[in-house]
């Protein structure tokens, strides 16, 4: 099995069985993301305490790439500080837009999305969850307790 097959398997697995999928009752902030080019719609929920993401979940509907990316992101950011998440977002963005570099080893399983950069129209699918997480962390809209 070569690396691209391994990466494809990771994406297929995270699309079929997305991790941290569903509403997060303890969310302190959330934001909605929309990628009209593809029709991807995500809501990202975060539970932030003392600058650390205690928990994160997402729901919505989207293509395989957007769902797998959100699932991988949710695993990668849980327990991290805002600064660490910002650094990770920067690395993911680099990975998705730079053709001349191997993915940073610190990306771990997130590197499975590196192949997306060969398909510019899909880059937005992969990055939607990160923009939505960023919106949630930088204000987003507050969760209504109804």
Which lies closer to Zn ion via its Cβ, residue 52 or residue 63? 63
Which stretch of DSSP H or E encloses residue 112?
A: none
What is the binding site for Zn ion (CB under 5 A)? 38, 40, 63, 66, 125
Residues 6+ apart with CB under 8 A from 53: 46, 47, 77, 78, 79, 80, 81, 82, 85, 137
Which lies closer to Zn ion via its Cβ, residue 27 or residue 31? 31
What is the closest distance, in whole angstroms, from the C-beta atom of residue 33 to Zn ion in the complex?
A: 11
Which lies closer to Zn ion via its Cβ, residue 27 or residue 128? 128
What is the closest distance, in whole angstroms, from the C-beta atom of residue 64 to Zn ion in the complex?
A: 8
| Structure tokens that stand for 24 in this block | 């997060």
Which lies closer to Zn ion via its Cβ, residue 27 or residue 70? 70
What is the closest distance, in whole angstroms, from the C-beta atom of residue 126 to Zn ion in the complex?
A: 8
What is the closest distance, in whole angstroms, from the C-beta atom of residue 132 to Zn ion in the complex?
A: 13
Torsion-angle region of residue 66: left (phi > 0), alpha (psi -120 to 50) or beta? alpha
Q: Shortest CA distance to 34 belongs to which of 24, 44, 48? A: 44
Phi, psi (deg, nearest 5) at residue 136: -65, -40
Euclidean distance between CA atoms 43 and 30, whole angstroms: 7
């Amino acid at each position: 099995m070569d690396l691209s097959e391994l990466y494809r398997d990771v994406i297929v697995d995270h699309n079929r069985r997305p991790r941290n999928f569903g509403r997060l009752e303890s969310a302190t902030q959330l934001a909605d993301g929309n990628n009209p080019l593809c029709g991807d719609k995500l809501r990202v929920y975060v539970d932030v305490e003392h600058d650390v993401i205690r928990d994160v979940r997402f729901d919505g509907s989207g293509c395989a790439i957007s769902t797998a990316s959100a699932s991988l992101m949710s695993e990668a950011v849980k327990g991290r500080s805002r600064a660490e998440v910002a650094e990770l977002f920067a690395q993911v963005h680099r990975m998705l837009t730079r053709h001349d570099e191997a993915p940073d080893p610190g990306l771990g399983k997130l590197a499975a999305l590196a192949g997306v950069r060969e398909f510019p129209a899909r880059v937005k699918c992969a990055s939607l969850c990160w923009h939505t997480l960023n919106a949630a962390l930088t204000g987003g809209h507050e969760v209504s307790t109804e």
